Amino acid sequence: MGLFVLLGIFALCVIIGVPVAFALGISALAAFWFEGLPLMIGVQRIISGINVFSLMAIPFFIFAGELMFHGGIAARLVRFASAAVGAVRGGLGIVNVFSSMLFGGISGSAVADISALGSILIPVMKEKGYDADYAVNVTVTSSIAGIIIPPSHNMIIFAIAAGGGISISKLFLAGVLPGLLMCLCLAVAAYLVAVKRGYRAEVFPGWSSLALSFIAAIPGLFTAVIIVGGVLSGIFTVTESGAFGAIYAFVVTLFVYRSITWASFRTAVAQSVRTTAMVMILIACAGAFAYMLTFYRVPDKTAALLTGLTDNPILILLMINAVLLILGMIMDMAALILICTPIFLPVATSLGIDPLQFGMILMVNLGLGLCTPPVGSCLFVGCAVGKLPMETAVRTIWPFYLAIFAALMMITFIPAVSMSLPTLLSP
């Protein structure tokens, strides 16, 4: 009955429009009250949910991404991507994917990717004769590269939700090949759709233009080197690398590119504070919610349910993927990481799946959920930027869904995709 109270009140709050963070907190405290547990323990669980030093890295990553968004780094990355891969059939679609891989790997945010790159590429693609739905669909689906390719604040959330025993530097390494694989699949889909629709190729600008665009992009690209390289080399902790990354992004946009203004800096700060507050409130309330899930032994019951249906590990992994895909369509990604990790991670590890590999499976599943209706935030933002009705985009987005799904299946059933770099490069 107590579990019904917990999940029922949470579902009711979500249905009537209560923000997910508050829905988690209200339902958790209601379950504490129903079980006769002191509400002070619930409050302590909420506070202890964010009393984790590693979480300090999240506001730095968010601020660095906002500075790069408002400081002109995105435009230079687009020019480099266009010069490098634009001269093929449907080249701007592949440019879009390549740009998302570069910018997402720096900002770590799918929504920032769409906002920064979509506002540049979608109008250009439509001007060059590309259909609006194609431009929006490529932008939306490729944006989730920022969730998988490091640095990613969602990986930090996953590490915390997993109990803090997972190395964030190894998580960063584990995300490189899956992110590249997904972008490769999306590039193939973009090319095939472009060929089918008869889009023309762009003109190669020449090796000198390619070299100049690369040189102009180097200062921005070096942000990722500082953040990721500092962590992997052991020079910085994750929090320190985020702080140095934010400082470096500010220096580059102010003194190298000279493209950030006082107004845009204020906007970056305000947006960073707003986003950080939302994430931290969510993590705090999810701490109490996860405590009650453990209290009701939901992880053990879920494992027993799945293994009771079948003992075939392939079918169990497919069921986990199916559940994550469905949940990703109706809930926010950060909340699902905090809720689903303690439930499904023990099941995955019992099947011999490494926590690093499961993290990548989780990220891709929930990233795909950001691109699907009815609650796909990336889909909403992309359609808003492209001035396209969502139902129009959804009718033709399926080739890109299939590309991400193909990458997901390879990540799920080929451990080397996620585990090769952590095994080779970690001490």
Same domain, 284 and 135: no
Please tell me the predicted confidence (pLDDT) of residue 221: 76
Confidence of residue 362 (pLDDT cuts 50, 70, 90): very high
pTM comes to 0.82
Answer yes or no: is 23 within a domain: yes
Please tell me the predicted confidence (pLDDT) of residue 107: 59
Closest by CA to 3, choosing from 283, 286, 284, 297, is: 297
- Compute the residue count for the chain: 427
Same domain, 190 and 42: no
Confidence of residue 365 (pLDDT cuts 50, 70, 90): very high
Same domain, 405 and 282: no
Please tell me the predicted confidence (pLDDT) of residue 86: 67
Q: Record the tokens describing residue 218, joined without a space.
A: 């180097």
Same domain, 149 and 251: yes
Higher per-residue confidence, 201 vs 354:
354
Please tell me the predicted confidence (pLDDT) of residue 374: 66
Please tell me the predicted confidence (pLDDT) of residue 406: 95
How far apart are the C-alpha atoms of 358 and 124, rounded to whole Å? 38
How far apart are the C-alpha atoms of 97 and 190, rounded to whole Å? 8
Higher per-residue confidence, 72 vs 30:
30
Q: Are 35 and 2 in contact (CB under 8 A)?
A: yes
Give the pLDDT confidence of 369-415 residue by residue, as tens digits: 888 876 677 887 788 878 888 888 888 999 999 999 999 999 999 99
**Residue 10: domain span:** 1-48+277-295
Q: Are 293 and 345 in contact (CB under 8 A)?
A: no
Answer yes or no: is 272 within a domain: no
Answer yes or no: is 200 within a domain: yes
How far apart are the C-alpha atoms of 412 and 325, rounded to whole Å? 13
Same domain, 68 and 108: yes
Q: Are 50 and 191 in contact (CB under 8 A)?
A: no
Residue 303 exposure: Cα atoms within 13 Å on the Cβ side: 15
Higher per-residue confidence, 11 vs 87:
11
Give the pLDDT confidence of 166-224 residue by residue, as tens digits: 888 888 889 989 999 999 999 999 999 988 888 877 777 778 888 888 888 888 777 77
Q: Is 201 helix (H, G, I), strand (E, B) or coil?
A: strand
Domain count, the chain: 2
Region 7-36: what's the mean pLDDT? 86
Q: Name the helix (H) or strand (E) containing 36.
A: none
Same domain, 132 and 209: yes
* DSSP single-letter state for residue 387: T
Please tell me the predicted confidence (pLDDT) of residue 220: 77
Q: Is the dihedral of CA 82, 84, 85, 88 positive or negative?
A: positive
Region 66-91: what's the mean pLDDT? 75
How far apart are the C-alpha atoms of 270 and 289, rounded to whole Å? 29
Please tell me the predicted confidence (pLDDT) of residue 326: 84
Answer yes or no: is 305 within a domain: yes
Residues 6+ apart with CB under 8 A from 261: none
